[in-house]
Amino acid sequence: MFVLTKEVTIEAAHRLPDHPGKCVNLHGHSWEVTVVMFSKELNENGMVADFGEIKRLVEHYDHKMLNEMIPFESGEYPPTSENFALLIANECLAKFVIERVEVSVKETKGSTVTCIQNAT
């Protein structure tokens, strides 16, 4: 089993429309995103995945308003740290041939959420 880890920091804003506290207001974070992929096999280049591809996947959200990004723009899912981690995890499973992915999103010091998804 191979385990790949990539850490990427982005700047992005969001607001939580139904939040009872101050997060109802527009604000931003320096989001620290850690992607951990698990695979029994390597791709044709001898890798689990290219670090640069993972970085580009996460940086797609850099300097963006997360509320306006799919699927958040529909209002179906609020752009919480949990849903942001889930979105990145699902994108990794769709893009890379892996068995499992763990995506951790730290929005502030001491506040981190991790989403664990297995390939089906």
Q: Is residue 75 part of a domain?
A: yes
pLDDT at 70 over 90: no
Assign residue 89 the CATH number of its domain. Answer: 3.30.479
**CA 17 remoteness from chain centre:** 20
Q: Is residue 53 part of a domain?
A: yes
The three-class DSSP label of residue 115 is strand
Structural domain for 21, as ranges: 2-29+42-110
Tokens of 54: 């993972």
Q: Is residue 37 part of a domain?
A: no
Q: How confident is the model at residue 120 (pLDDT cuts 50, 70, 90)?
A: confident
In the chain, how many domains are there?
1
Q: Is residue 117 part of a domain?
A: no
Q: Is residue 12 part of a domain?
A: yes
Read off the pLDDT of residues 26-53 as tens digits, 9 standing for 90 and up. 999 999 999 999 999 999 999 999 999 9
What is the C-alpha to C-alpha distance for residues 25 and 19, in angstroms, rounded to an integer? 9
Q: Is residue 91 part of a domain?
A: yes
Q: What is the pLDDT of residue 32?
A: 98
